[in-house]
Structure 1
Amino acid sequence: MKTLGKALMLLALSSAIPAAYAQTTTDPTAFAGGADVQAQTRAMLAEMKPDQGFMWRPLVRDGARVAAIEIWKKPGRPAVHPAEAEYAIVLEGTGTLISGGTLADPTTRNPGLVDGSRIEGGTPRTLGPGDVILVPAGVPHWFGITGERLVLLGIKLPGAK
């Protein structure tokens, strides 16, 4: 047992992984540190074309559950995700969220996305860094951009089946 413990400690030290983590090899946790979030955001901004209004890229994932960086430079179409709740945290930039109400002229793009021309009767909210948003499954929502961009950590959670 002492030999196994020493081997795990050596492995942990040699690979820069904390010893406590090396001993917990069944940990299913997906993790991205602040530096990872910033690096991915910088890489995405560098890849975006000048006329590109939106980019989405997963940061951590567990099957259907995903947390992704979303960069909005132009507003998209109002949308509904029928079977997914959407949490978002504003990382940088400013914008507007309109949510609730009724989606006008709905078009089903795929089973997970219905978009429309506008939201009628929604509630507008001003967005800035640190704001936290929860849009339940089936609720229309739209993001407007008031500055250069709006960067979100968007988290999609599938609804109960």
Structure 2
Amino acid sequence: MRRTVDRTAMVAASLLLATAFPLTPVLAQSAPNAADPTGFASGQEIRAQVAAMRAEMKPDQGFMWRPLVGDGPRVAAIEIWKKPGRPAVHPTEAEYAMVLEGAGTIVSGGTLVAPETRQKGLVEGTEIKGGTTRTLGPGDVLLVPAGVPHWFGITGDRLVLLGMKLPANP
């Protein structure tokens, strides 16, 4: 019983830290160390992170991203989409994601129309011509190679992803 109380206290403390420091991966149950650099977040911690993020989102906010576990440049993050973003391309990174909750669509492939570099590693456009549309639901996994246009549509009130950017093959 004591272990359950300690775990609950730890999750509560993690959620408080997540609010204070939203860009720090705070839910990694076992912090990486020299003997074992593995980051870890339990299913319970992931559900708590999603619940905390949903509670923090403003009614008109369409997207929220928060790191979950990582080791420097490689980060697995929770993404909550309530509104579709702009079609995008990551020229030097592949995007891997698994749907945790909700439903939506992904349009990928084809050609990005009116591409504009918004920031390093991100090119956005107005639409995708000739892409493939796929329906997304819990448990679905996708891997969009670097340089491939993609766009997420939302069906219902949200699409929650566990996502990671991966460097393109050299």
TM tier, smaller: 0.7 to 0.9
**Aligned residue among 107, 117, 120 for 1:108:** 117
Give the TM-score taking structure 2 as reference length.
Answer: 0.79
Q: Structure 1 counterpart of 2:157, which letter?
A: E
Q: After the TM superposition, which segments of 4 or more aligned residues of structure 1 sit over 3 Å from their partners? A: none
Letter in 2 for 1:93: G
The residue type paired with residue 129 of structure 1 is P
* 1:125 maps onto 2:130 in alignment: no
User: Shift of residue 64 of structure 1?
Assistant: 1.3
Aligned position for 1:154: 163
Please give the alpha-carbon distance, in whole angstroms, between the structure 2 residues aligned to 1:129 and 1:103. Answer: 27
Alignment gaps of 5+ in structure 2: 1-5, 8-29
TM-score when scaled to structure 1?
A: 0.83
1:81-139 per-position Cα deviation (integer Å, ceiling 9, x unaligned): 11111110000101000000000000101121000000000000001000000000110
Inter-partner Cα distance in structure 1 for 2:153 and 2:140: 15
Whole-Å separation in 2 of the counterparts to 1:71 and 1:65: 19
Distance in 1 separating the partners of 2:141 and 2:151: 15
Q: How does 1:56-71 map to 2 (within 5 A)?
A: 56-71=65-80
Matched with 2:57 is: 48
Percentage of identical aligned residues: 73
Residue 44 of structure 1 aligns to a residue whose secondary structure is helix
Tell me the matched-pair count.
141
For the aligned residue pairs, the C-alpha RMSD in angstroms reads 1.7
Q: CA deviation at 1:159?
A: 2.0
Between structure 1 and structure 2, the one with the greater Rg is 1
Structure 2 counterpart of 1:78, from 87, 90, 100:
87
